[in-house]
């Protein structure tokens, strides 16, 4: 639920703090009454819009174009871009997620967005430590923008057109308006 912090003050009995939230949504009375009877777990973090379907579609267009110009498959390009420009995955309490697996197990056989970063002994067994990255469908707008910026940089380095279909359409319309206002002289 999206909310804004309201007020915070010391409880009357001095045992804790009262924090209020302002929401646009109403919590159903029965649900509120049921929750009010129990301790609740609350996670407060800054709200960010989820990435749009248009952003995701544009990212996949860039992935397809990069794959067409390189020996990589689309899946390989997507995994490389996510592990180069995407955010690390975190647990619900904000800690970075990682895999610790025996040396002979490749984490990417089970999850595409992992990168080997260290090797250690764990209980006498040599293990690989893997950083885990967030899947693009779980990214917010800021994270997706960074991923797309990285994809654009790589596409431009390969000489690939990076304008979105909306940008191309707008430029074509502007050009048509310019030509209508400035007809060519036959001569």
Task: Flag the least confident range among 3-7, 147-151, 183-187.
Answer: 183-187
Indicate whether 36 belongs to any domain: no
Q: What percent of the chain has pLDDT over 70?
A: 84
Comparing CA positions, the residue from 55, 136, 134, 129 lying closest to residue 99 is 129
Indicate whether 162 belongs to any domain: no
**Domain total for the chain?**
1
pTM above 0.85, yes or no: no
Indicate whether 99 belongs to any domain: yes
Indicate whether 110 belongs to any domain: yes
- Distance, in Å, from the CA atom of 142 to the CA atom of 79, rounded to the nearest integer, reads 19
125: left (phi over 0), alpha (psi -120 to 50) or beta: beta
pLDDT tens, position by position, 45-60:
666 656 557 788 889 9
User: Which residue range forms the structural domain that includes residue 126?
Assistant: 89-133
Indicate whether 173 belongs to any domain: no
Indicate whether 73 belongs to any domain: no
Which tokens hold the place of 39? 């301790």
Model pLDDT, residue 99: 94
pLDDT tens, position by position, 167-186:
656 666 776 676 677 776 65
Indicate whether 37 belongs to any domain: no
Average pLDDT of every residue of the chain: 85
Model pLDDT, residue 130: 97
Indicate whether 41 belongs to any domain: no
Give the confidence band of 103 by pLDDT, cuts at 50, 70, 90. Answer: very high
For 58, half-sphere exposure in the C-beta direction (CA atoms, 13 angstrom radius) is 21
């Amino acid at each position: 639920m999206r909310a804004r912090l309201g007020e915070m003050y010391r409880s009357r009995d001095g045992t804790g703090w009262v924090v209020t939230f302002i929401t646009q949504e109403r919590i159903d009375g029965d649900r509120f009454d049921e929750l009010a009877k129990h301790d609740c777990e609350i996670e407060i973090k800054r709200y960010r819009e989820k990435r749009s379907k248009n952003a995701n579609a544009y990212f996949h267009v860039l992935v397809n174009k990069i794959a067409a110009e390189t020996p990589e498959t689309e899946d390989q390009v997507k995994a490389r871009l996510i592990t180069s420009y995407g955010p690390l995955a975190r647990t619900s309490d904000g800690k970075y997620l990682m895999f610790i697996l025996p040396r002979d197990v490749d984490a990417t056989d089970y999850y595409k967005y992992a990168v080997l970063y260290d090797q250690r002994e764990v209980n006498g067994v040599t293990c690989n430590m893997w950083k885990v990255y967030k899947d693009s469908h779980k990214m917010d707008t800021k994270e997706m923008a960074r991923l797309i910026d990285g994809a654009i940089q790589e596409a431009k380095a390969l000489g690939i057109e990076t304008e979105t279909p909306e940008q191309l359409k707008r430029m074509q319309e502007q050009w048509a308006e310019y030509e209508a206002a400035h007809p060519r002289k036959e001569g």
